[in-house]
């Protein structure tokens, strides 16, 4: 079984070929970051138009890299949401039409389910059940994962996602989009000069809130000199606060559900300090932490192809020719395999 995965929910046009027997055969990605940097964030209309431009050339490259023929595909998995609606629609229409032409199944995948399963592509991967901490540009979620499709939402961000706190703080200090990698880079030169309060850690439960942190960054920036050392010191404090907050909430969730394993996924899980803080902090408490490969922390199509393979094998695919694209879609509405 070989599945073509297509991901277009935000600003990355990504395609991957996943074989059940051999794993990932090839993957290609066209980043639009340079175009969105001009505006300090993703412009939905530009994202959708660029996916349209990039999809066919990227597909041609993918097939060439893998020396693979379209006629050998078993199915096509695509991100059906949640995400920027226009961007999702381009990928969904492309995937559904191609599957129709090849007379093979199309499988609409939930983007967050893709992230949540991304560590399964690694040779050392978790077994079920596990707790998933999903930290991306649009979501911060703690989910109890019993099996594929059996998701219990434990907590989520009540306002900004962790990635948004990185992106908005970076923008404020004049750094490029996406802000996360920029903040991580600057924080390496940072000193422990500022300290921000950790949002919501003294309240019970598993919810997050990161918009107050952005305000703390804004106030500190406004009252400081605008040197590169100040940028480094604020970046350091921001990264520390987010790392600690994620660790505290993840440990609390593991304790509450009696879990043993945590998977840390989504764009923010590419951050080395956050990875180390969670794996060290949770190892001390007897838990094991799993991550995707770095290139699968941020948006990618391998995770979509993998989720598609699992769902197709269970007989779950788009049974009609309606094209599904959703801006909002709750993870808990998914059905088990």
Binding site for Zn ion (CB under 5 A): 136, 299
Which lies closer to ligand KG4 via its Cβ, residue 2 or residue 279?
279
Q: Which tokens is 183 given?
A: 């903040």
Give least dist CB 267 to Zn ion, A.
Answer: 6
Chosen from ligand KG4, Zn ion, none, partner binding at 181 (C-beta under 5 to 8 Å by type): ligand KG4
* Close Cβ partners of 239 (under 8 Å, ≥ 6 residues apart): 183, 184, 187, 190, 271, 273, 274
Chosen from ligand KG4, Zn ion, none, partner binding at 298 (C-beta under 5 to 8 Å by type): ligand KG4
Chosen from ligand KG4, Zn ion, none, partner binding at 79 (C-beta under 5 to 8 Å by type): none
Give the pairing type, strands 12-19 and 2-7. Answer: antiparallel
* Close Cβ partners of 65 (under 8 Å, ≥ 6 residues apart): 26, 28
* Close Cβ partners of 49 (under 8 Å, ≥ 6 residues apart): none
Which lies closer to ligand KG4 via its Cβ, residue 30 or residue 266?
266
Residues that bind ligand KG4 (CB under 6 A): 10, 136-138, 163, 166-167, 178-181, 184, 266-268, 270-271, 298-299
Chosen from Zn ion, ligand KG4, none, partner binding at 325 (C-beta under 5 to 8 Å by type): none
Give least dist CB 308 to ligand KG4, A.
Answer: 17
Chosen from Zn ion, ligand KG4, none, partner binding at 180 (C-beta under 5 to 8 Å by type): ligand KG4
φ and ψ of 118, to 5 deg: -60, -30
CB–CB of 82/326 below 8 Å?
Answer: yes
Q: Which tokens is 328 given?
A: 């909002």
Other beta carbons less than 10 A from residue 251's beta carbon? 18
In angstroms, the CA 285 to CA 209 distance is: 25
Residue 328 Cα distances to 9, 268, 317, angstroms: 11, 21, 20
Chosen from Zn ion, ligand KG4, none, partner binding at 163 (C-beta under 5 to 8 Å by type): ligand KG4
Give least dist CB 239 to ligand KG4, A.
Answer: 8
Beta-sheet strands, E only, within 215-278: 261-265
Give least dist CB 6 to ligand KG4, A.
Answer: 15
Which lies closer to ligand KG4 via its Cβ, residue 185 or residue 285?
185
Give least dist CB 31 to ligand KG4, A.
Answer: 10
In angstroms, the CA 27 to CA 63 distance is: 9
Give least dist CB 297 to Zn ion, A.
Answer: 9
CB–CB of 235/171 below 8 Å?
Answer: no
Which lies closer to Zn ion via its Cβ, residue 32 or residue 136?
136
Chosen from ligand KG4, Zn ion, none, partner binding at 235 (C-beta under 5 to 8 Å by type): none
Which lies closer to Zn ion via its Cβ, residue 136 or residue 241?
136
Which lies closer to Zn ion via its Cβ, residue 79 or residue 144?
79
Q: Which tokens is 111 given?
A: 């983007």
CB–CB of 199/245 below 8 Å?
Answer: yes
Which lies closer to ligand KG4 via its Cβ, residue 66 or residue 88?
88
């Amino acid at each position: 079984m070989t599945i073509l995965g297509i991901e277009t929910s935000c600003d990355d046009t990504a395609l991957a070929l996943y074989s059940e027997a051999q794993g990932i055969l090839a993957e290609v990605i066209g980043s639009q970051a340079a175009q969105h940097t001009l505006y300090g964030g993703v412009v939905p209309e530009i994202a959708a138009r660029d996916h349209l431009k990039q999809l066919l050339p990227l597909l041609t490259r993918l097939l060439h890299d893998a020396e693979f023929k379209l006629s050998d595909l078993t199915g096509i998995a695509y991100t059906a949401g949640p995400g920027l609606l226009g961007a999702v629609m381009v990928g969904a229409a492309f995937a559904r039409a191609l599957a129709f032409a090849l007379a093979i199944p199309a499988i609409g995948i939930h983007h967050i389910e893709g992230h949540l399963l991304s560590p399964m592509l690694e040779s050392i991967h978790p077994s079920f059940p596990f707790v998933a901490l999903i930290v991306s540009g649009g979501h911060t979620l703690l989910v109890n994962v019993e099996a594929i499709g059996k998701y219990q939402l434990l907590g989520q961000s009540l306002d900004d996602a962790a990635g948004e706190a990185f992106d908005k703080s970076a923008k404020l200090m004049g750094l490029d989009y996406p802000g996360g990698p920029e903040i991580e880079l600057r924080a390496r030169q940072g000193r422990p000069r500022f300290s921000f309060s950790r949002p919501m850690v003294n309240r019970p439960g598993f919810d997050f809130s990161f918009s107050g942190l952005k305000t703390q960054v804004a106030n500190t920036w406004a009252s400081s000199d605008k040197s590169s050392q100040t940028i480094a010191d604020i970046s350091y404090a921001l990264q520390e606060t987010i790392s600690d907050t994620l660790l505290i909430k993840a440990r609390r969730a593991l304790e509450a559900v009696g879990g043993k394993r945590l998977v840390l996924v989504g764009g923010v899980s590419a951050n080395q300090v956050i990875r180390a803080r969670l794996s060290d902090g949770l190892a001390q408490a007897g838990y094991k932490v799993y991550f995707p490969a770095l290139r699968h922390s941020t948006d990618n199509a391998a995770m979509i192809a993998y989720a598609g393979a699992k769902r197709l094998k269970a007989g779950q695919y788009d049974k009609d020719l309606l094209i599904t694209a959703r801006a909002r879609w709750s993870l808990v509405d998914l059905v088990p395999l």
